[in-house]
Amino acid sequence: MLIAFEGTDGSGLSTQSKLLAEWLESKGYTVYLTKEPTTGEIGKLIRRVLRKEIEVSDATLALLFAADRVEHTKIIVERIEKGEIVISDRYRLSSYAYQSLTLDLEWVVMINRYSITPDLTFVIETPPEVSLERIKQRNNGIELFEELEKLEKISRNFRKVAEGNVVFIDGNRSIEEVFGEVRDKILI
């Protein structure tokens, strides 16, 4: 089974992914917690673009995310076949919502054809002015998409591109309240 967490930067995706992984492990499940961009070579290159160390065109970045995901999907499928629960901190809905800011959505969907549809997707919705404040406090520098106007559009895009079994969660609450709702949606 694949569960994905999606949403705009600083919405609490990493926090909630970890909490869900720990909770499922405490119930005796074997969990594989993973994220995109990955820690692989393509993921590392993407991180350099996000930190604005290197500049590539939007289409190239979209292809890099899709390539990173092809490799990631192989690992995810292996884990699912072993009976593990895979939790991914971002997956292909991020490409649909972020890359369609400037690129044709149909093309973005097409280059992601060799990915799989998650069994369950949580889209955590936190107002960008709130999440940007969290990002500033985290103090890791401001990355490529971390601007108010862009994040507002991306946030609306998530509503438009949502696919499959999707649950929208209000992220503008305490970590515990948000996680309470995530946990309630897991029917195991």
Q: Which is nearer to ligand ADP, 111 or 126 (CB)?
A: 126
- Distance from C-alpha of 168 to C-alpha of 182, rounded to nearest angstrom: 10
Pair of tokens at residue 169: 């969660």
Torsion angle of the four alpha carbons 134, 137, 142, 147, in this order, in degrees rounded to the nearest 10: 40
14 is an interface residue for ligand ADP by CB under 6 A: yes
The strand pairing partners of 34, in sequence order, are 88
Q: Which is nearer to ligand TYD, 16 or 95 (CB)?
A: 95
φ and ψ of 89, to 5 deg:
-80, 90
Q: Which is nearer to ligand ADP, 128 or 171 (CB)?
A: 171
Sign of CA dihedral 125, 126, 127, 131: negative
Taking the complex as a whole, how short is the minimal distance between the CB of residue 162 and ligand ADP, in angstroms?
Answer: 17
φ and ψ of 52, to 5 deg:
65, 25
Q: Which of 3, 5, 9, 124 binds ligand TYD (CB under 6 A)?
A: 9
Site string for ligand TYD, 99-138 (x = CB under 6 A): x---------------------------------------
140 is an interface residue for ligand ADP by CB under 6 A: no
Residues that bind ligand ADP (CB under 6 A): 9-15, 134, 138, 171, 173-175, 178
